[in-house]
Structure formats: C-alpha cells, structure tokens
C-alpha cells in the first residue's frame, strides 16, 4: 500500500463503481468485512445492548474509560491492518493528510449534528415520548479520571469513524451497494451503538450518522467526520457536567 497522498482527489476501490467484483475479489472483500464486523462492530453492539439493561447507565468511570481506550486501540489496530493489506489505496478509505478545511467541515458537522439533536429532543419532549432513563456522567472524577475520560472520547471517536465511515462505506460500495445504501447501513449501526442512552438519543445519533456519512461521501476525507464526532462528544460531556 502506498503512502498517504497529498492530493485531495478521492481514490476509489480498484473495483470500479458499478462494476461487479470478480469472485475471488468478492470473497476477499467479504472475509475482510467479516473480520472488521467481528472486531469493530459486534462487540460495540453487544456492549450497547448490555448497557441498555441498566436502569441508570453511568458514563466516564475510570474502569469504563480504561476499557474503552483498550477496546478503541484494538479496533483501530485491526482495521488499519485490514486497510494496509487491502487492494485499495489509503485515500480510498479517506485517510489523507490533514488540512485546514477539515476543521471547517468538522465544525460544520458539529453545528448540524447538535442542531439536529436538539430539534429531535424538542419534538419528542413536546410529544411526551421522552424516555425516563438517561445515561449519566460519573461524579467525583479525579484528575486521572478526567484524563482517562478524554482519552476514551478521542479513542472512541476515531475508532467509530474509522469503522463506520472510513471503512464500511467504501467497502459496501465495492460490493455494489449504492452510496446511499452504504450511508444508511452505517448510520443505523452507528445509532444502535448508542441504544443504551434511550431510543430518542439513538435516533438523534442515527441522524448525526447520516450527516457524517453524507459529509464523508461528499469529501471522501476521514478527518472532517472524526473532528466533528470528537467535538460533538466533548460538547455532550460538557453539557452533562453543567
């Protein structure tokens, strides 16, 4: 696999869009997808379902933060390994050099995602469908606890975007899914990751996933969605503190 390029021109899979991959290539792509699903998707979904069974989920405890950091490192390592041995170039997964416009797009995603989240909450609140249970931030964190929490937020933001947008969308496109279908599938999985926060929150996250997926398809760059995701998570934690 070549080095990360300077150019911003998107690079697609060696299998041209709209062209069916040969049988050996398709088998390789499906095996690759199964590995990423087993490491980067299934554990997160299982964890979200287990957390949803708690009466009052608590976020940010040192043990939970450390676990998220370890899990994120594992996911990132495996997905990058898969990408490195794929027939695609790094740019096919949106991994290109960071540039200033990525920050602008990231802040745009923050504004759109936060606005959409507030609108959905407002609508469901007035309909009386707001769920009784919410995920809460752990109280009395020490300095080390806050450091672990921030590292966990950074790690999960990158890991989730690497899987959901950077890997899954291009790979589904390589398997002849349309870009729209790929964005819908990745967004539904992304929302399911957050089911422990309640159905309304999961719906809001799904909408954010749609925005992030559309942004990725438009720019073919991973950094804008990583930055936007990280900013949204930091804002969410800041609001829970206050």
Statement: residue 104 has pLDDT above 70: yes
Cβ atoms of 202 and 192 closer than 8 Å: yes
* Percent of residues, the chain, with pLDDT higher than 70: 83
Residue scoring higher pLDDT (15 or 86): 86
Residue scoring higher pLDDT (226 or 8): 226
Statement: residue 52 has pLDDT above 50: yes
Statement: residue 10 has pLDDT above 90: no
Burial of 169 (0-12, 13-18, 19+ CB in 10 A): buried
Q: What is the mean pLDDT of residues 175-187?
A: 96
Exposure class string for 40-67: b at 16+ Cβ within 10 A, else e: bbeebeeebeebbeeeebebbbbebbee
Statement: residue 19 has pLDDT above 70: no
Statement: residue 124 has pLDDT above 60: yes
Could you tell me the end-to-end alpha-carbon distance of the chain, in angstroms, rounded to an integer?
46
Q: Which of 97-106, 187-196, 197-206, 233-242 has the least mean pLDDT?
A: 233-242
Q: List CB contacts of 234: < 8 A, sequence separation 6 or more.
A: 153
Statement: residue 57 has pLDDT above 80: no
Statement: residue 9 has pLDDT above 60: no
Taking the whole predicted model, whether its pTM rises above 0.85 is answered as yes
- Return the pLDDT at 56: 61
Residue 220 gets the label, from left (phi > 0), alpha (psi -120 to 50) or beta, of: left
pLDDT digits (tens, 9 = 90+) for 24-36: 888 999 999 999 9
Two tokens, residue 209: 């996933």
Give me the residues paired with residue 136 across strands: 58
What is the rounded CA–CA span in Å between residue 95 and residue 222?
6
- Return the pLDDT at 2: 44
Q: Report how far Cα 49 is from the mean position of its chain's Cα atoms.
A: 17
**Helix ranges (DSSP H) in the chain:** 23-36, 42-52, 62-84, 100-127, 143-161, 169-174, 179-192, 199-219, 223-241
pLDDT digits (tens, 9 = 90+) for 62-76: 888 898 999 999 999
Mean pLDDT of the chain: 86
Q: What is the mean pLDDT of residues 2-29?
A: 60
Helix (H, G, I), strand (E, B) or coil at 84: helix
Q: List CB contacts of 241: < 8 A, sequence separation 6 or more.
A: 137
Residue ranges per structural domain of the chain:
23-241
Q: What is the mean pLDDT of residues 86-95?
A: 93
Other residues' Cβ atoms within 10 Å of the Cβ of residue 182: 22
- Return the pLDDT at 25: 86
């Amino acid at each position: 696999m070549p080095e990360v390029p300077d150019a911003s021109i998107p690079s697609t899979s060696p299998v041209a869009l709209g062209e069916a991959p040969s049988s050996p290539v398709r088998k390789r792509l499906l095996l690759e997808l199964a590995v990423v699903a087993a490491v980067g998707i299934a554990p997160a979904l299982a964890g979200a379902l287990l957390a949803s069974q708690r009466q009052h989920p608590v976020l940010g405890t040192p043990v939970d933060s450390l676990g998220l950091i370890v899990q994120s490192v594992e996911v990132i390592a495996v997905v990058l390994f898969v990408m490195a041995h794929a027939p695609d170039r790094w740019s096919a997964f949106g991994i290109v050099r960071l540039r200033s416009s990525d920050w602008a797009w990231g802040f745009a995603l923050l504004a759109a995602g936060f606005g959409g989240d507030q609108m959905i909450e407002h609508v469901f609140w007035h309909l009386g469908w707001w769920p009784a249970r919410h995920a809460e931030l752990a109280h009395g964190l020490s300095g080390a606890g806050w450091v672990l929490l921030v590292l966990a937020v950074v790690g999960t933001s990158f890991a989730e975007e690497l899987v959901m947008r950077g890997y899954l969308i291009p790979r589904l496109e390589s398997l002849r899914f349309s870009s729209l279908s790929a964005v819908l599938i990745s967004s539904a999985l992304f929302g399911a990751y957050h089911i422990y926060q309640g159905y309304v929150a999961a719906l809001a996250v799904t909408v954010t996933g749609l925005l992030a997926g559309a942004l990725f398809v438009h720019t073919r760059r991973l950094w804008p969605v990583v930055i936007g995701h990280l900013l949204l998570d930091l804002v969410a934690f800041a609001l829970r503190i206050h």
